[in-house]
């Protein structure tokens, strides 16, 4: 409980990310979370390296189609930092 109550979110994530062993443990814990929406089986997508940049560009392009005035540089940075693990 102390760990949960003292938790703080990090504004930006960067490298290095969790190791493969850490990710395995994270995913094992995640599949045991309550599933009140009965959405099982879940799918986890791990986006790493150059694929993060491609995903970031895709998000920015998609948003610019919907909102042509959006700031492209900021969008790319945010997508790269906040959508690293989907």
How would you write the pLDDT of the chain (86 residues) with one tens digit per residue?
887 788 887 777 677 888 999 999 988 888 888 778 777 777 788 888 888 888 888 887 888 788 777 765 665 555 555 433 33
- As a whole number of angstroms, the distance between CA 66 and CA 86 comes to 22
- pLDDT at residue 21, rounded to an integer: 94
**At CA 77, angle to CA 76 and CA 79, rounded to 5?**
65
CATH topology of domain 18-82: NADH Oxidase (3.40.109)
- pLDDT at residue 22, rounded to an integer: 92
């Amino acid at each position: 409980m102390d760990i949960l109550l003292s938790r703080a979110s990090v504004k930006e994530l960067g490298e290095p990310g969790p190791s493969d062993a850490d990710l395995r443990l994270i995913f094992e814990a995640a599949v045991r979370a309550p599933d009140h929406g009965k959405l099982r089986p879940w799918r986890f997508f791990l986006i790493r390296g150059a694929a993060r940049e491609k995903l970031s560009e895709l998000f920015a392009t998609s948003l610019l189609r919907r909102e042509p005035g959006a700031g492209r540089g900021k969008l790319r940075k945010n997508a790269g930092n906040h959508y690293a693990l989907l």
